[in-house]
Amino acid sequence: MGIDDFGGGQGPESTILVVTTNDVPGYRVQRVIGEVFGLTVRSRHVGSQIGAGLKSMIGGELKGLTKTLVETRNQAMDRLAEHARVRGANAVLAMRFDVTEAADVGTEVCAYGTAVVIGPQ
């Protein structure tokens, strides 16, 4: 597994800037569109759960689960960016992730933030 398996974020093809900050240096907010989010729920894979249980006895990183969580977060972030784009935004400010258990059958990951239109100062 390479670094791409364990890293996240937007790819170079994205047309929506997504940042965790409240502003973007050199730009000003021209219009606030409002809250946007991207949501995904992933079920647990029995094999990975057994592997994680065994690994927890001896310690160490759960690489399969790490890779799955990265993929899940990236999917939620892609959906967030698409939601913002459809609503007319070119950026999302104050992006955050929220992760919760979904009825003991999976994990819900939500990426959320504020969709805005920004332009150079």
* Distance between CA atoms of residues 102 and 22, nearest Å: 29
Mean pLDDT taken over the chain: 85
Helix/strand/coil for 121 = coil
* Distance between CA atoms of residues 15 and 39, nearest Å: 19
Higher per-residue confidence, 51 vs 61: 61
Over residues 6-31, mean pLDDT: 88
Domains, the chain, in order of start with CATH, read: 3-120 (3.30.110.70)
Among 12-21, 44-53, 90-99, the minimum mean pLDDT is found in 44-53
Q: What is the pLDDT of residues 70-119, one digit of tens each?
A: 889 999 999 999 999 999 999 999 999 999 987 777 889 999 999 999 99
pTM, entire model: 0.81
Q: Residue 54 pLDDT > 60, yes or no?
A: no
Is the Cβ–Cβ distance between 35 and 84 less than 8 Å? no
* Distance between CA atoms of residues 69 and 67, nearest Å: 5
Q: Residue 4 pLDDT > 90, yes or no?
A: no
Q: Residue 55 pLDDT > 80, yes or no?
A: no
